[in-house]
Chain A
Amino acid sequence: MTWSAGYALACLVLALWLVRLWIRRYASGERASRPRDLASAELVYMEELFRIRQPFRLIAKVDRVYRLPGGALVLVELKTRAQDSPYLTDIIQLSAQRLAIEGQTGEAVERYAFISVLRPNGRLRSHRVRLLDLDEVSNLKRRHKAILDGHLRPSYAVSEASCRQCALRPRCDRPEPR
């Protein structure tokens, strides 16, 4: 009798564990991956391309855009990397996306956005970042053009370690670290 009760209990525990596993698996998805601050927001754009001509010609593809109950839009960008932190490149990219969406749709986009970092272990964490304003993005665009036209000397990556992984390192004139 005791053995039977033990088996029954073990089966029950196993069944409950399987149910939990199943629920967790299927309850994951868009709801699970969206930042908590956007729990009541509506997903309005996915993988959408936006293009503007003014103040400069810009094209931006967004990962996800949510609309808050108040009507403003919030950008979310997915990044896959081991380092669980937002980079300056992410902020620039999202700032440019914000400019493109506002320019094309005329809708207000919040000055903040989220970078969802998906790590190799499958964990996703969202980071809230403050975006650059129009002047900052415009200045960056001007600098970009000046560098491509050869009118401005470009700066190097802040970290010399990142140069080791750069495919263009053999063509780069940055001195080797001592």
Chain B
Amino acid sequence: MSKRRKEPRDEVSATELAEMGFCEKRVQLAHIYGEQATSEQRKAMARGQVAHQRYLEEGLAATADRRCFVATFVFGRDARETQVLRAYRDTVLVRRHWGRVLVAAYYRIAPSVCRVMERLPATVVGARRMLCIVVACCETALCNRRSP
């Protein structure tokens, strides 16, 4: 397997520079003959890619991302109710251990809940009513936190 460089001339990547710390001769040979890897190295690279993908997904799930599956499905992506729930997640839930567990568990089951609601539109009305109560509670909690 060989891979030719596509970057502009003289541009070097951090990874290429890093190779200098392992074997300079290898850097020279890879430049002349192209990057090559053994089957073990290819397998290791594939494992690394999978690990990096999981690492990225963990990071995305942890940051103040815009996921709020059920609320988005019921109210819409930028609806006030969805924003309130996101704010409650970011300011209250993710700062507590039990809250993070709850958020992680929610992210796990929410897509399935959305699929059920997609199949049974009648459930959306019930979910909307229930979520309105939750949103009101979250709003009150957030207001209490802001007020001195």
Interface set, chain B 7-24, CB cutoff 8 A to A: 7-8, 10-24
Give, as a whole number of angstroms, the nearest-CB distance from B58 to chain A: 4
Cα separation A91 to B15 with both chains bound (whole Å):
11
Q: Say yes or no: A168-B18 contact (C-beta < 8 A), given A27-B104, A59-B11, A78-B51.
A: no
Q: Is the CB of A144 within 8 A of B27?
A: yes
A80 touches B (CB below 8 Å) = yes
Q: Is the CB of B27 within 8 A of A148?
A: yes
Chain A residues contacting B38 (CB-CB under 8 Å) are 165, 167
Chain A residues contacting B100 (CB-CB under 8 Å) are 27, 29, 31
Q: Is the CB of B24 within 8 A of A64?
A: no
Cα separation A166 to B27 with both chains bound (whole Å):
12
Chain A residues contacting B125 (CB-CB under 8 Å) are none
CB closest chain-B residue, reference A145: B10
Chain B residues contacting A109 (CB-CB under 8 Å) are none
Give, as a whole number of angstroms, the nearest-CB distance from A58 to chain B: 6
Q: Is the CB of A137 within 8 A of B17?
A: yes
Q: Say yes or no: A171-B33 contact (C-beta < 8 A), given A80-B51, A148-B27, A157-B22.
A: yes
Cα separation A27 to B104 with both chains bound (whole Å):
7
CB closest chain-A residue, reference B22: A89
Interface class of chain B by DSSP: helix
Chain B: interface residue count, which band? 35 or more
A33 touches B (CB below 8 Å) = yes
Cα separation A107 to B15 with both chains bound (whole Å):
22
Cα separation A155 to B63 with both chains bound (whole Å):
43
Chain B residues contacting A60 (CB-CB under 8 Å) are 13-14
B120 touches A (CB below 8 Å) = no
Find A26's partner among B8, B36, B104 (CB 8 Å cutoff): B104
Chain A residues contacting B24 (CB-CB under 8 Å) are 143, 147, 154-156
Chain B residues contacting A163 (CB-CB under 8 Å) are 23
Give, as a whole number of angstroms, the nearest-CB distance from B38 to chain A: 5
Chain B residues contacting A78 (CB-CB under 8 Å) are 51-52, 55
Cα separation A80 to B52 with both chains bound (whole Å):
9
Interface residues of A (CB under 8 A from B): 23, 26-27, 29-31, 33, 43, 46-47, 56-61, 63-64, 78-80, 87-94, 96-97, 100, 118, 137, 140-141, 143-145, 147-148, 154-157, 162-163, 165-168, 171-174
Nearest 9 pairs between A and B by C-beta?
A30-B62, A154-B24, A96-B14, A93-B18, A157-B23, A60-B14, A88-B21, A57-B11, A167-B36
